[in-house]
Chains A and B, each alone.
Chain A
Amino acid sequence: DGGITQSPKYLFRKEGQNVTLSCEQNLNHDAMYWYRQDPGQGLRLIYYSQIVNDFQKGDIAEGYSVSREKKESFPLTVTSAQKNPTAFYLCASSRYSGGYNEQFFGPGTRLTVL
Chain B
Amino acid sequence: QKEVEQNSGPLSVPEGAIASLNCTYSDRGSQSFFWYRQYSGKSPELIMSIYSNGDKEDGRFTAQLNKASQYVSLLIRDSQPSDSATYLCAVFRGRDHGMNYGGSQGNLIFGKGTKLSVKP
Residue-by-residue, is A15-56 near B (CB-CB < 8 Å gives 1, otherwise 0)? 000000000000000000101000011111100100000001
Please give the distance in Å from A94's CB to the nearest CB on chain B. Answer: 9
Q: How far is the CA of A76 from the CA of B15 in the complex (A)?
A: 41
Does any Cβ of A come within 8 Å of B60's Cβ?
no
Instruction: Answer yes or no: A1 CB below 8 A from chain B CBs.
Output: no
Question: How far apart are B91's CB and chain A's nearest CB, in angstroms?
Answer: 9
What is the chain B residue whose CB lies nearest that of A4? B43
A105 and B107 form a contact (CB under 8 A): no
Task: Name the interface size band of chain A.
Answer: 20 to 34
- B interface residues (Cβ-Cβ under 8 A, vs A): 4, 8, 31-32, 34, 36, 42-46, 49, 51, 88, 90, 92, 94, 102-104, 106-113
B31 contacts A100, C-beta separation under 8 Å: yes
Interface, chain A (partner B; CB < 8 A): 33, 35, 40-45, 48, 56-61, 90, 97-100, 102-108
- For A33, A42, A48, A107, the residue with the greatest tally of chain B CB atoms inside 10 Å of its CB is A42
Interface of A is mostly: loop
A42 close to B44 (CB less than 8 A): no
Measured CB to CB, the nearest residue on chain B to A40 is B112
Contact of B103 among A40, A41, A58, A98 (CB under 8 A): A58
Name the distance in Å between A8's Cβ and chain B's nearest Cβ: 14
